[in-house]
Chain A
Amino acid sequence: MRNTIISILAALAAFSLASSASAEQKTLTVYTYESFTSEWGPGPKVKEAFEKTCGCTLNFVSVEDGVALLTRLKLEGDNTKADVALGLDTNLISEAKATGLFQASGIDTAAIKVPGNYSDDTFIPFDYAHFAVIYDTQVVKNPPKSLKDLVDGDPSQKIAIEDPRTSTPGLGLLLWVKSVYGDKAPEAWAKLSKHILTVTPGWSEAYGLFTKGEVPMVFSYTTSPAYHMVEEKTDRYQAASFSEGHYIQIEVAGMLKSAHDKDLARQFLTFMVSPAFQDIIPTTNWMMPATKTSQALPEAFGKLVQPANTFLMGSDEVAKNRQAWIDEWLSAMSAK
């Protein structure tokens, strides 16, 4: 037993020594979510491109998702190591502002073009996508043409959705239904619940069920078919275009008050809305770029659903009502 304790202490010491050997060079620490920094995500290319221009080291620290990112910052408070947080979504902005950890960067955002009249001086968009129902063309011959169509349609046509209690796409669908149905949302959910095969804790589980062929429709993004068209060369999975319009997810980044090199943080945010960064986004993060790219997007992106109308609720409104709407959702869904 004593030996075990000694070896644990030794291991702890070794780990902490290894970390303190940091470089002399300027470094920028960016907190983000895991799929951004994964081998296939934008992270590695962004790091390479930015380090070429900044004469610095760019360090990514990744957590599970955008929500975990905000939680992490709340836990760390003023002495966070983060200079920039990248990957919050618009629904989290109100809460993120309430922490008082962020500061407006004042960079030029004129080039940014995202649907939904979004503007904010602190949180700068770097990509976006509309939520959409993705369907398997081999199974679903008549995809729903509107949210109402989906709600009132054939209940044997199943869909997998995400849980608004644990995932951001799940919250997106909740807000979409609320935007379209308003006070009638509970009735809509009660009807929709008959189509819902299952409610998964996150996007990965739902999309896994979908690609395994277990369910012919899944709640995802308008950009998901681009992945299958570009990487797998198949048109099999398509997004259903809904006539009411689509709810949007805009991903944003912000600079922290405690950033130790604010000029470098600003430089990164400026780089983020430049073509060098934006060119990387579409085929690695599978989202739409927030500003013009230097080259045209791959052909597949031209075939994606372009929503006629964009829904986006203010983040204060979302923060205020989220719990009540989730409760409403819970009772409507549990009644079946």
Chain B
Amino acid sequence: MLTAAERRRGLSYGAITLFGVTLFVAVAVLALLAWDAGDTKARLFSAYTARVLRFTLLQAFLSTGLSVLFAILLALALARQPRFPGRVWIVRLMAVPMGLPVLIGALGLLGIWGRQGLINDMLAMAGGAAPISIYGLSGILLAHVFFNMPLAARLMLAALERLPAEYWLLSCGLGMRRLSVFRFLEWPALRQVAPGIAGLIFMLCATSFTLVLVLGGGPAATTLEVAIYQSLRFDFDPPRAIALAFLQIGVTGLILAAMSFLPAPEETGMTAGRSVRRLDGQGWAARSGDGITILLATIFLILPLASIAAAGFKANLWTLVTSPAFLKALWTSLKIAAIAALLAVTASLAILTGREAVADMKRPGSLARSFSAALSATSALVLLVPPVVLGTGWFLVLRPWGDVAPFAPVLVAIINALMALPFVMRVLAPAIETHRRRTARLSESLGISGLARLWRIDLPVLARPLLTATSFAIALSLGDLGAVALFGSNELTTLPWLVYSRLSSYRSHDADGLALLLAMLCLSLAILGTVGRREVGHD
């Protein structure tokens, strides 16, 4: 369907991005490998490594399963109740955990679920039952669900909302029952996005570090990421760090590859763009059932956030907001986040164009097919490369050129962009693919192409996913501490770094206040990402 020039352009965009990402990672890894650090001091694959690997995978499997399961329930309920009071705010709140530095999120969760948290206080009041302790696997799962379930629910909700309004009209006309609606409409839509979302969450949980240590209760809960960090930062043993990183990429990659073989049904529905009316959600039973689901999920989500807010309001917020340190960190964070988001969205678009060009070929050769697969794999697997490896590697590369500090903001932005890439892809890929299926033939037959197509056909539909993707990427970059910690220099202080800095000099009230400000920033981004939710469609 594409012209030859368009296809060539698509392929080259994809190739450039693939080359860029691979080069960035490979240079860092090679620099570390080339570093003459002598032989590794510890045996690579000991019983310890095996135990760590087993725990990493176990907690990642369970975390992913629970997150996806709860996300499906929540997304179904939210999709069925488009007029639920405060719905748009619930959707916005779902973007906040993503932008929080993990330690802050963990402290918020402990304010509710901890030994002195709300739940145990209530249990004590209700009759002095033995306090529940979440430390251990349950704490890790709780935290991973808190951070990842909202993300999954949002992506799934988007998938359900992309279903043509005509489907719902038809299902109603056919008198389909709830189970049939699920089987024929909702499940196929979810099944299309679920493996990708599950893969993303699996990677996030497999590489989790601070949460696992803080809530895991002891070294029995250790992930490979901890071991990698330890060997690079504490023992300075690059060969071991690289070997462990390869182990992490290899094993997790295999699991992801297995997941991607799950068949995804083709979605072909056309729509005239009428607005969705979910008559199936209007019965009393559906309303109350969905209401309870949404309410429980909202409470689960909002309580830890409220606990963060309550702690934050005890700080002297005005002094904090007007302090030069905050303003400087805010400016630095926003700059880095903006560059990271721009890079991530651009790279995603390039990758998608490349994949589209391959998909458009009449008979793609094995080379073209593996190119397309490489594009998908790169955008997904890049999350498994530990930032500490990228940072240290690039430090070694740049060092001979003089001072590394000036490059630090750029490197942090690129590392953040790579981290955000899989998220952005999850938002953009289904939206763009659906849009193309619906409009490509028509546009071509009407002879609309180039800028006109971009402006009249693509932008009106794709503006919203683009905004959502951008706000995801910005939020992720804002909340990221990892990449900055590697270069840490006086000139490069981001907001999460400032939060940690205040904590490490006993200023915990300031840290609470800053965390609240960061959360509010993420919420405003989420508002930006959901702008125009109501304006789509017409009757």
Contact = CB atoms under 8 A, between A and B. Distances in A.
A201 B209 contact: yes
A15 B406 contact: yes
A198 B406 contact: no
A304 B115 CA distance: 29
* Chain A at the B interface: SS class: helix
Interface stretch (A30-38, A104-112, A257-265, A268-276): A30-38
Nearest to B41: A323
A207 interface: yes
Contacts of A158: 115
A327 interface: yes
Contacts of A40: 502, 505-507
Contacts of A38: 501-502, 504-505
Contacts of B110: 209, 212, 214
A1 B350 contact: yes
Interface stretch (A74-82, A146-154, A295-303, A308-316): A74-82
Residue of A166, A203, A323 with most chain B CB atoms under a 10 A cut-off: A166
A191 B117 CA distance: 27
Contact of B218 (A165, A207, A336): A336
Contacts of A5: 20
Interface string B129-141: 0000001000000
Nearest to A168: B234
B17 interface: yes
A14 to B, nearest CB: 9
A219 interface: no
A320 B16 CA distance: 48
A120 B141 CA distance: 48
Contacts of B502: 38, 40
B501 A333 contact: no
Contacts of B51: 334
Given A35-B501, A71-B233, A74-B236, A201 B485 contact: no
Given A35-B505, A197-B115, A333 B219 contact: yes
B147 interface: no
A54 interface: no
A62 B497 CA distance: 12
A233 to B, nearest CB: 14
A34 B311 CA distance: 25
A184 B13 CA distance: 63
Given A4-B342, A4-B346, A193 B213 contact: no
Contacts of A231: 506
A308 B359 CA distance: 76
Contacts of A214: 110, 114-117
Chain B interface residue number, banded = 35 or more
A190 to B, nearest CB: 11
Nearest to A199: B218
Contacts of A61: 405, 489-490
A200 interface: yes
A201 B396 contact: no
A330 B403 CA distance: 39
B48 A62 contact: no
A301 to B, nearest CB: 15
Given A18-B406, A68-B488, A199 B504 contact: no
Contact of A11 (B226, B346, B410): B410
Interface string A39-63: 1110000000000000000001111
Contacts of B229: 166
A196 to B, nearest CB: 6
A140 interface: no
A187 interface: no
A333 B503 CA distance: 27
Contact of A1 (B230, B233, B346): B346
B500 A204 contact: yes
A11 B340 CA distance: 13
Interface in B194-243: 209-210, 213-220, 226, 229-230, 232-236
B210 A1 contact: no
Contacts of A41: 505
B488 A64 contact: yes
A299 to B, nearest CB: 18
B253 to A, nearest CB: 26
B218 A323 contact: no
B533 interface: no
Interface size classification for chain A: 35 or more
B403 A165 contact: no
A160 B410 CA distance: 37
A219 B501 CA distance: 19
A204 B515 CA distance: 15
B107 interface: yes
Contacts of A202: 504
B407 interface: yes
A213 B502 CA distance: 18
B478 to A, nearest CB: 19
A114 interface: no
B116 A75 contact: no
Contacts of A35: 501, 504-505
Contacts of B507: 40
Given A38-B501, A334-B220, A166 B346 contact: no
A162 B205 CA distance: 22
A12 interface: yes
Interface string A276-303: 0000000000100000000000000000
A15 B409 contact: yes
A63 B488 contact: yes
A75 B350 contact: no
Nearest to A60: B490
A75 B394 CA distance: 11
Given A15-B410, A63-B488, A330-B48, A198 B214 contact: yes
A211 B509 CA distance: 10
A60 to B, nearest CB: 6
Contacts of A323: 41-42, 235
A305 interface: no
A201 B396 CA distance: 25
Contact of A199 (B16, B107, B219, B230): B219
Contacts of A76: 399
Contact of A197 (B209, B213, B217, B504): B217
Nearest to A231: B506
A205 interface: yes
A68 B506 contact: no
A251 interface: no
A208 B236 contact: no
25 contacts: A15-B406, A15-B410, A19-B403, A35-B501, A40-B506, A61-B489, A67-B234, A71-B233, A75-B392, A79-B399, A79-B400, A163-B219, A165-B226, A165-B230, A166-B234, A200-B213, A201-B226, A204-B503, A204-B504, A211-B508, A212-B111, A212-B311, A213-B116, A333-B219, A333-B220
Given A67-B233, A196-B218, 6 more contacts: A16-B406, A74-B236, A166-B213, A203-B504, A214-B110, A323-B235
Interface of A: 1, 4-5, 8, 11-12, 15-16, 18-19, 34-35, 37-41, 60-64, 67-68, 70-71, 74-76, 79, 81, 158, 163, 165-166, 193, 196-205, 207-209, 211-215, 224, 227, 231, 286, 323, 327, 329-330, 333-334, 336
Interface of B: 13, 16-17, 20, 41-42, 48, 51, 103, 107, 110-111, 114-117, 135, 209-210, 213-220, 226, 229-230, 232-236, 311, 325, 339, 342-343, 346, 350, 392, 395-396, 399-400, 402-403, 405-407, 409-410, 414, 485, 488-490, 500-508, 511
**Closest 9 CB pairs between A and B?**
A15-B406, A19-B406, A204-B503, A334-B220, A35-B504, A40-B505, A165-B230, A204-B504, A214-B114
